[in-house]
Amino acid sequence: MAATAIFARRLGTSVKDAGAKKGSGWFGPHMAAASQAILERIPMVDLTIEIRDSRIPFSSAYGDLDHLPSSSRRMIVLNKMDLADRSQTKKWVKHFEEQNCICYAVNSHNKDNIKELLLFIQAQIREIKGNQSNYTATAMLVGIPNVGKSAISNSLHQIGRISAAEKGKLKHAVISPFPGETKDISSFKIASHPNIYILDTPGVLASKSLDVEMGSKLALTGAIEDYLVGEYELAQYFLAILHSSDDYKHWEKLCTTENDRSPIDHTEKLSVSSDSDKRRQKQYSTDHTQDFIVRDVRQALFKTISSFNGNLETEKEMMGLIEAQFAVLHEAFRVLPESGEDGCRRVATKLLNLYRTGRLGHYTLDPVPRNFQ
Tens digit of pLDDT at every position of the chain (373 positions): 688 999 999 999 998 888 777 655 666 677 778 888 898 898 899 999 999 999 999 999 998 777 666 556 899 999 999 999 999 999 999 999 999 999 999 999 999 999 999 999 999 999 999 878 788 999 999 999 999 999 999 999 999 874 334 444 445 544 445 444 545 788 999 998 889 999 999 998 876 667 889 999 999 999 999 998 999 999 999 999 999 998 899 898 877 655 544 443 443 443 444 555 555 555 566 789 999 999 999 999 999 999 999 999 999 999 999 999 999 999 999 998 777 889 999 999 999 999 999 999 999 999 999 765 5
Category of 115 on φ-ψ map: left (φ > 0), alpha (ψ -120 to 50) or beta: alpha
Helix axes 291-306, 231-243, angle to 10 degrees: 60
Q: Is 350 helix (H, G, I), strand (E, B) or coil?
A: helix
CA distance linking residue 12 with residue 138, whole number of Å: 37
| Nearest of 211, 216, 126, 177 to residue 356 by alpha carbon | 177
Q: Give the model's pLDDT for residue 260.
A: 47
CA distance linking residue 299 with residue 13, whole number of Å: 32
Distance from chain centroid for Cα 88: 15
Q: Give the model's pLDDT for residue 114.
A: 95
Q: Give the burial string for 111-127 (b: 16+ CB within 10 Å, else e).
A: eebbeebbeebbebbee
Residue type, 284: Y
| Nearest of 112, 55, 58 to residue 361 by alpha carbon | 55
- Distance (Å) of CA 4 to CA 120, 243, 287: 39, 9, 30
Q: Give the model's pLDDT for residue 270.
A: 37
CA distance linking residue 55 with residue 366, whole number of Å: 7
Q: Are 49 and 75 in contact (CB under 8 A)?
A: yes
pTM, two decimals, is 0.86
- Distance (Å) of CA 232 to CA 83, 147, 214, 314: 21, 22, 19, 20
Q: Give the model's pLDDT for residue 96.
A: 95
| Nearest of 321, 329, 336 to residue 351 by alpha carbon | 329
Give backbone dihedrals phi and psi of 17, rounded to 5 degrees, phi first. -65, -40
Distance from chain centroid for Cα 252: 26
Q: Give the model's pLDDT for residue 1.
A: 60
CA distance linking residue 73 with residue 351, whole number of Å: 40
Question: Burial, 87: exposed, middle or buried (Cβ in 10 Å; 0-12, 13-18, 19+)?
Answer: exposed
| The length of the chain, given as a count of residues | 373
CA distance linking residue 318 with residue 321, whole number of Å: 5
| Nearest of 95, 50, 92, 93 to residue 68 by alpha carbon | 50
142: enclosing H helix or E strand:
strand 136-142
